[in-house]
Amino acid sequence: MSQEPETAESEEPSHERLAQLAEMEARIDVRFRDRSLLDEALTHGSHAHEGRDGKRLSYERLEFLGDAIVNAVAADILFRRYPDASEGDLAQLRSRVVSEPAFARLARRLELGKYILLGRGEEKAGGRTRNSLLSDVFEALVGAVYVDSGYGVAHAFVARWIIDSIEELDTHESPDYKSQLQEIVQQRERRLPRYRISGQEGPDHDRAFVAVVELGGRVVGKGKGRSKKEAEQAAAESALRRYQGS
């Protein structure tokens, strides 16, 4: 006699939880066909482990997916918005838009904190207001929208919420420290600074380049950045402080 395969039991959301999920849908202006995805995106691992037999899902998998989608959408928007920007420039711009502080701010605008299910210990530790957790939940929310409604809806959702950060790039351009340094050095020493990438730091997923700027063979500035260009700008900024006596 054959037996039916065992399946993991899952906790059905309470009426109160269903009401919260409906509020969340209205807040983000996205209606889910499968609300369990939204519930999963708003469930921290600490709460999941307190569920029935520890089988309740948490947001980690959706966060992994959402992270990739947010990066893709931001890259798409920046690529079209800045047609003359180099690959390095685009990567630097994206790093300013796709970041933990930026996503935490969006999570607060959406009031995600009040809808997150946390374990008792995480609740007492203030997890509901922690930037890293809020950022993770925003990415998980993007992942849930994608799984439920596809890339087109997810793209529109992400674009709507990151557009303010992207528009800020137009009004907060990074200073060109290399040009400023070159002008000062040419006036004072009649020579040009030379930049060199001296090494790399950090793990593969968070690699940073280290650059130095030299004058006449001596190092006058050092800096780090996610791209070689960003590292050189940081080195130039360091040298400028030295020249300006600050």
Pick left, alpha or beta for residue 216 (phi over 0 → left; psi -120 to 50 → alpha; otherwise beta): left
Report which DSSP code applies to 197: E
Residues 191 and 194: their CA atoms lie apart, in Å, by 10
Is 237 a residue of the active site?
A: no
Is 139 a residue of the active site?
A: yes
Catalytic choice (39, 40, 67, 237) = 67
Catalytic choice (139, 148, 230, 237) = 139
Burial bucket for residue 81 (CB in 10 Å: 0-12, 13-18, 19+): middle
Q: List, in sequence order, the alpha helices (H) in the chain.
A: 15-28, 35-41, 45-48, 60-81, 87-97, 100-109, 120-124, 131-149, 151-171, 177-189, 228-244
The SS3 of residue 194 is strand
Neighbours of 228 (CB within 10 A): 15
What is the set of active-site residues? 67, 139
